[in-house]
Structures are given as structure tokens and as C-alpha cells.
Amino acid sequence: MFKKEFLEARGKLIWGLVVFCLLAIGIPLLYPLVVSLTLAPVPSDALSAPRSGISVAMPGEILKEIERMRRDFDYYLWSQWAGKNLPQAGGVLAIILGMGAVASEYKRKTALFLLARPLSRAGILGNKFAAAIISLAVVIFVSTLVMLTAARLAGYHFAWGTQLASAVPSFAGAVLIFAATAFFSSFSPGALPAALGGFSATVCSVLTPCFLKSNTLNILFHMAGARFFQEGVFPWPFILASFVLAAVFYFLALLVFSRREAL
């Protein structure tokens, strides 16, 4: 059963790898363009101010960001990959993997055949979750390694361990987004409504700073791992919370799936 689910996710896995690797390779290749930018001088003390991850920057802050990237390649890699592109692309991939987890079986009229197999619904859903989570891990960490390898081949020096570890929060957040989308898929009539549910939940999380004046519930902020890169504090609470909430969404999806008729 797991082999079937992994083979079904193979197309998304391959396309995800291609897109992510192209994004990843482009980051070190574009660094000379950043270095060549002519900007007004920025005081050195202003460059040490910690970046809060994914946020809306004012023009002055953008200048500081670019100047810091020019001076620090390690910061440039993190800010353009784990700090921005990886959380966003990872969230999109998670929604794509989760939206058809259950809904597609009913949309394609294959649910009856699937449920006729000598396997419990918990096993069916568990295999779907396992295949998707492994796909997310492969895409996120392989593309990160591709970016780091491309940067090293280009002659740049950086902290391999820190850059690779910075991808872990993005993976944990992507797992949570996938699980939430799969929950919507468990009762949706099709994949698109489930995708809309997962996307809406993610957007609501990202917009919480507008109301709470805090990034506590902003999943993209935590996926960026700004505090880890700036201060060396690994985000264990967020990672553990993401996996626990993903497990909760799995059991909620199983509860709905168990009560859903085969036809």
C-alpha cells in the first residue's frame, strides 16, 4: 500500500525536485548581481539588527538587507533560501500533496476499490501521510544540498551545518500544512476545495501579526528560523509543536474518513 501511495506521489515529487533545485541553484548564481549593486553607505551597527524572517520591509530596511547580503554570503544564503523561498515553496508543495489525500479517491471513484483492500482506514491514511512526508523531506533537503553544493563549487564559503539545519523548521512547518490540508481533504468533495482550506488556514496564520502584534502564530515566520540563524537557538518548540499538531490533524482526518461512505 505504501508503494502505491509513493508511486502516486512520484510525479509531484519529481516536479517538486526540479522546481526547488532550479530555485536553489539560482541563489548562489545570482550573488554576483547582489554584490555589484551600488547603494548608499549603511552604518555597520545597523546591519547587525536581527531580521525577523518573512516580513514586509520598508525601503530603508531593504537597503540594509541588501548591504548585509553583500558583506555576508552566509546571511545571503539563509535570507534567500531558508529565510524566504524555502518556507513559501514548501508550503505550496505541502498543499499540493495534501489536497488530494482523500478527496481525490472519491473524485476519481476509486474509494470503493481502495477500501475493499485488506487494510484498515487508519493504515490507508497512514500510508498516504508517510508517502507525502517522505516526499517533502526529499524535496526540501535534497534541494538545500544542491544549493549548498552549487555555492561551494562557485567558490563561496559558508557554514554548511547551519545552512542545512535551517531547512529543518521549513520541513516541520510543511508537514503541518500538509496535515491540515489532508484534514480538509478528508471531507471535501474534491481536491480544489481541500487546497483552498489548507491555503486559507495558512494565510490566516500568516496574517495573525496584523491583529496580535506578534509572530507567535505566524507559521512562515517560524519556518524561516530567524532566531536560529541570528542567535543559534534551535526552534525545538516549533518543531515539536508542528509534529504534534500534524498528528492531531491525522487523527481528525481519520475520524472523518472512518465515517465517510465509500461511494
pLDDT at residue 56, as a whole number: 46
If you write DSSP's letter for every residue of 74-106 in order, what string do you get? HHHHHHHIIIIIHHHHHHHHHHHHHTTTTHHHH
Q: Tell how far CA 31 is from the center of its chain.
A: 23
Closest Cα partner for 182 from 5, 19, 4? 5
* Residues above pLDDT 70, as percent of the chain: 87
- Give residues with Cβ within 8 angstroms of 158, minimum separation 6: 73, 74, 77, 148, 151, 152
pLDDT at residue 61, as a whole number: 72
Range from 18-27, 121-130, 205-214 that averages highest in pLDDT = 18-27
pTM of the model: 0.88
Could you tell me if 99 and 185 are in contact, meaning their C-beta atoms sit under 8 angstroms apart?
Answer: yes
For 207-240, how does the pLDDT look when each residue is reduced to its tens digit (9 = 90+)?
999 888 889 999 999 999 999 998 999 999 999 9
Average pLDDT, the chain: 87
Left if phi > 0, otherwise alpha if psi is -120 to 50, otherwise beta: which for 213? left
* Residues above pLDDT 90, as percent of the chain: 63
pLDDT at residue 259, as a whole number: 87
Closest Cα partner for 20 from 78, 81, 99? 81
For 135-165, how does the pLDDT look when each residue is reduced to its tens digit (9 = 90+)?
999 999 999 999 999 999 999 999 999 999 9
pLDDT at residue 84, as a whole number: 92
Q: Cα dist. 235→221, 240, 262 in Å? A: 11, 9, 41
Amino acid identity of residue 27, one-letter, is I
pLDDT at residue 40, as a whole number: 45
Question: Quick one: average pLDDT of 90-114?
Answer: 86
Instruction: Tally helices (H) and strands (E) across the chain.
Output: 17, 0
Question: Quick one: average pLDDT of 87-96?
Answer: 97
Distance CA(1)–CA(123), nearest Å, equals 9
pLDDT at residue 173, as a whole number: 98
For 23-42, how does the pLDDT look when each residue is reduced to its tens digit (9 = 90+)?
999 999 999 987 786 454 54
pLDDT at residue 194, as a whole number: 96
Is the pLDDT confidence value at 69 over 90? no
pLDDT at residue 60, as a whole number: 64
Q: Cα dist. 68→75, 152, 214 in Å? A: 8, 20, 25
